Amino acid sequence: MTIRTAFLLSSALAGLVAAVPATAQSAPENAPASSQAVTPGASNSDSDIIVTAQKRTQTLIDVPQSITVVSGAALERQQATSFQDYLNLVPGLQLDQSTPGAGRLILRGLNTGGVASTVAVYVDETPFGSSSALVNGGVLAGDFDTFDIARVEVLRGPQGTLYGASSLGGLLKFVSNTPDTTKVEGRVRAGIETTDGGDLSYHGNALINLPLGDTLALRASGFYNKVGGWIDSIGTSAVDGVGSTQTADVAKNINGSKSYGGRASLLFKPSDTFDLRLTAHIQNIRADAPSIVESDPDTLQTLYGRETQSQFANQFTNIDYRLYNGLLNYDFGFAKLTASSSYSTQNQTFRQDATFNLSGLVTAALGAPANDFVLDQQTNDRRFTEEVRLASGKSDLLEWLVGGYYTNEKGLVSQNFAAFTPNTTTPIAFPFVLGQVTIRSKYEEYAGFANATLHLGRRFDLDFGGRYSHNDQTASQGADGVLAGNVPVNSNLRSSDNVFTYSIAPKFKISDRASIYARVARGYRPGGPNVISPTAPADTPTSFAPDTVTSYEVGFKGETADHSFALDIAGYHIDWNNIQLLTVVNGFGININGSSAVSDGGEVTATFRPTRGFVTSINGAYTRARLTGDAPPLTGGLKGDRLPFTPPYSVSVNSDYNWDAGSAKPYVGGSLRFLSKQNGNFDADYRAATGRQRTVPSYVVVDLRAGVDFGRFGLELFARNLTNDEGKTSTGPTTANGLPLNPNGAIATGVIRPRTVGAAITASF
């Protein structure tokens, strides 16, 4: 990557930066949508499921690719407000995460670590997050709160034709509710939760929809979620890598977090042919220590008899989302014009505790006093996007869409090392700068795309499309301080790409309720410039190229006429070439192209509605994703290794039953999610010592829910992770250039939240 910079005092300093995980790195759109694939919490529906996956309104069964749609009602019924909460609703979707707001989405196994994203995130018409490998887009997926969301659409497989860069594995799209000019609507919601061994949690939500005349309406919502911590620091003592004894703080429930913000949308609709919608999304995430625990490096069993981490200096992660969009639609009759203009920002500031790894070394090398040592990092992304497209109306012969796209993105990654008097926040004054490193970058892309569906009779359709994309990137890097070696500013870092992506998807309609399809599609992830050491070998690459995937998919979608049974099944083969991988040259982390991988697998969703009020969905995924060539030595991946955090098997079952009891409607429901054993992140040292990659144990999560809907009022009770399973969600390294990162050789592993029991009440008008 870019900014994992050499610290010439010691290679261990560069090792620490390299060890920081992925741092420096014609129904309306808000039509009810309980998925054919996923319907927990939703009542039986006689309506078709509407999606906008192909940038025009279609029924789900008509889209020739694998899609899961989760309705806003289903999300609310499951108390799902973040990625971690609704993984069980989407087959094949995985998450590598240890801190709220800082997670890596994985679809169909396309993951080798690094810092550029393989799954794109959209909010309505806006791509959110960085397309560049220089601004950590891979580990900063936009994890938006889902209150008052119409639905979440998840498209599996490459989406390069319509959605462009960084959608190798697929796309996750939040579709928000549109203001309604016909009625006043309001709702408030509040809840409280208790977590086993942790602090109380609580949340509050409110929304209002106000018609401001016959042609104007405002919809606004707000939310506040406080999640209590449950992980303790227990004063662990151990000898660090240079012989100093270090003792961690004693503190309880250090990993609390909160998320708050809102969404406002103004709709102007003077006629059936024209509408203009202005929308603003604001969200802040404030997390204390990450949700990691110290585990045995071989078995990944949690150490010390309970969930703990060794805290020497307080840590935090602050993430702010801002997104502003103007969306115009005009229907010419023969075609509909859509123009979307967006401006978004994503700012992350975090502090990582580096005391155990580096405090003793800094003390010895600089003659510094005993200290708590930290890495402070800021990652900022500013992005403007414009998309204009023209889509034909319904036709029995040909439906088409053409469009153009532009984005301009500016990024900043800044790192600063600092020392503090132990157990305080008082900085230690040095007569010199310790270490500061900064990367500034710019990403600019132009693209043109087209898509069409040719209807060859009543039964056979051919969907096809292509996209041509060109991007230019520039970057500059500077460093200061004794630990950074006063590396000179490098401001002439450039790269450019020209990429063509396509998709072809024939579909045969067996009946009005069933179809089979095939799809061949290509996707890409942009390349970029590298920040290299002034003393790097002459053959060190100054830039890296795009990596690409070609996906081959076949599938079946069908349901009975009464919607009592639905089946969605797909199988695929994906070739991943020229993979972007992170390596280190003279202490500088850079991206290179190397190795290849394949992913074979399938997903299935079966939904049963045997009687009124009862619905069960079963989701399953099989994924065999592995390297087909050796990765660079420092990456630690060899031919045949499974790709990280891609379980071969994942299964979830979601079931709900509601019935009438006079004026009330009680309901009960439950969910179960099973993940098989999977590989952790690539680890060169562990691979060399054991001949294999680290194995993350399988786990099962069971959730229960019940409630009563009284019409204007509702009461809900729920329990998540009922069996108190301790699923691990991420793995880190154990050493940085031979120096331990955690006491007693432990490895830091992300962990799911323990058993949580709560209640919520809703009032509406």
pLDDT over 80 at 42, yes or no: no
Q: pLDDT of 620-631, one tens digit each?
A: 999 999 999 998
**298 falls within a domain:** yes
The β-bridge partners of 608 are: 565, 616
Task: With respect to residue 493, please indicate whether it lies within any of the assigned structural domains.
Answer: yes
Length of the chain: 765
DSSP for 65-114, written as a single string: S-EEEEEHHHHHHTT--SGGGSGGGSTTEEEEEEETTEEEEEETT----S
CATH number of domain containing 493: 2.40.170.20
How much is the pLDDT for 52? 85
DSSP state of 308: B
Containing domain of residue 105, as a range?
11-764
pLDDT band of 489, cuts 50, 70, 90? low
The rounded mean pLDDT for the chain is: 89
User: What is the band of 31 on the pLDDT scale with cuts at 50, 70, 90?
Assistant: very low
The phi and psi torsions of 606 (rounded to 5 degrees) equal: -120, 130
Residue 250 has pLDDT above 60, yes or no: yes
User: Does 678 or 18 have the greater pLDDT score?
Assistant: 678
Give the model confidence (pLDDT) of 399-430 as tens digits: 999 999 999 999 999 999 999 998 888 888 88
Residue 6 counted as domain residue: no
Residue 2 domain flag: no
Q: Is 485 helix (H, G, I), strand (E, B) or coil?
A: coil
Q: Is residue 442 part of a domain?
A: yes
Q: How far is CA 46 from CA 33, 36, 175, 565, 612, in A?
A: 11, 11, 21, 12, 11
pLDDT of 99: 93
**What's the pTM value of the predicted model, to 2 decimals?**
0.91
Which two three-digit tokens encode residue 602?
């399938």
Percent of the chain with pLDDT over 90: 72
Q: Give domain status of residue 5, yes or no.
A: no
Per-residue pLDDT averaged across 203-209, rounded?
97
User: Quick check: is 405 in a domain?
Assistant: yes
Confidence of residue 462 (pLDDT cuts 50, 70, 90): very high
As a whole number, mean pLDDT of residues 307-317 equals 96
The residue-averaged pLDDT of 664-677 equals: 96
- Segment 335-356 shows an average pLDDT of 96
Total domains present in the chain: 1
Q: CA–CA separation, 482 vs 57, rounded Å? A: 58
Going by pLDDT thresholds of 50, 70 and 90, the confidence category of residue 65 is very high
